[in-house]
Amino acid sequence: LVEWLVAVLPRHPGLYAAIKRQLLNLAGAKIGHNVHIYPGVRIFVPKGLTVGNNVSISSYVVITTAGTVSIGNNVLVGYGSQILSANHHIPENRGIIFGSGHDCKPVVIEDGVWIGANVTVLPGVRVGKGAVVAAGAVVTKDVAPFAIVGGVPAAVIRVRE
């Protein structure tokens, strides 16, 4: 069975996405209908993930869900992006970072958002309805609905009318 899966799945991304969607639901995630999760996507830990309907998560995306991640309907997530809901805690004064724990904050990506390739969305961020995040951006703060943002850190380029 494993050999068959390894041989067949790369040639059938729809079958791969369906199997991954079912496995994620079994692991505690809440995955909607018509969700395409392409090969190479890494999700740590599925239990904190909610994904709406008609969503495409491209290859090599990383999602960490310790602080929870909610992705709305009709969302595109580009290749190599990272959606991070946890980060290492920086201790007071000159304390040792290793072993100091994590800061976990929810990430919310609302309906109709397009996240370009190689975007990083940091913990505690809300990306508003219909927003576009340009390729390579690092999103450190909330993005207003229908805004187009880009850069490091992400800043508003214009608003969709």
Q: Tens digits of per-residue pLDDT, 67-80?
A: 999 999 999 999 99
pLDDT value of position 75: 98
Low-confidence ranges of the chain (pLDDT < 50): none
Size of the chain, expressed as the number of residues it contains: 161
Q: What is the pLDDT of residue 9?
A: 65
Cα 158 to Cα 94, 100, 144, 154: the distances in Å are: 40, 39, 11, 12
Tokens of 75: 């969302």
Structure tokens at 21: 């969607």
Burial of 43 (0-12, 13-18, 19+ CB in 10 A): buried
Annotation says 89 is catalytic = no
Q: What is the pLDDT of residue 6?
A: 57
Full DSSP string of 104-159? E--EEE-TT-EE-TT-EE-TT-EE-TT-EE-TT-EE-S-B-TTEEEETTTTEEEEE
Active-site pick, 12, 33, 88, 102 = 88
Report the predicted TM-score, pTM, of the whole model to 2 decimal places. Answer: 0.89
Q: What pLDDT shows up at residue 10?
A: 63
Cβ-contact 48, 68 below 8 angstroms: yes
Distances (CA, A) of 84 to 13, 15, 17, 18, 115: 25, 27, 22, 24, 14
